[in-house]
Structure 1
Amino acid sequence: MTLIGVVLIAFLALAAAHRKGLYTSGFATRLRFLGWFLVADSVLRPAVEHYAARKLWATLAAGPIDHRWAVLWIYLFAGLALLSLARIMRVGTEMREDLEGVV
């Protein structure tokens, strides 16, 4: 599910960049959304999987489960990097708009 979401959002972001350029508010917004999507997925998906595994194990066995909750670090760092890149693109967009207003 994560892969489908990432591919779809990335496709929309790249299509917007192809149409209007990199330094537009639409591209920065899509990058920011993709970053938050990855950050949320890196934290929420393992939590939901851990909860579901504990509930399932409770119905199947009497003993404790040896399943640990772990954040998906690669998704978390990728999301944070995309959030930083989106901020850079937004500042670049504002600079470009100021430059167009001056010239």
Structure 2
Amino acid sequence: RDHSMVQMMVDRGEISVEEAQYHPEKHYITRALGVGEMLDIDYLEEEMPEKSAVLLCSDGLSNYLDREDLHRLIWNNDAFSAVEQLIGQANAMGGADNITAVLITK
């Protein structure tokens, strides 16, 4: 989930996930490192089930690949190759932004 104004609108039921993809303010963030002295962080501690994955990525990746592409590339490759292919695919689709991705699998 993004920390963005548009994600907050989705969470409140004001717009759909599909509408959020094309919303003109989808890049307005609600949190950022280095802006203030304190930062609200999300913390989650949970046992990962077998055959599960967690992908942490920037919008340079998530803006170019849909959930089906992400799922296919993650589960058809080992973690290292999946990240390489995710970044390669996003770049091939016109990725004009910086891309950061970390994939954790079990």
TM bucket, shorter chain: under 0.3
Say which one has the larger Rg: 1
Name the TM-score, length of structure 1 as normaliser: 0.27
Name the structure where strand makes up a greater proportion of residues.
2
Name the TM-score, length of structure 2 as normaliser: 0.26
Name the structure where helix makes up a greater proportion of residues.
1
Q: Which has the higher contact order (CA 8 A, sep 6+)?
A: 1
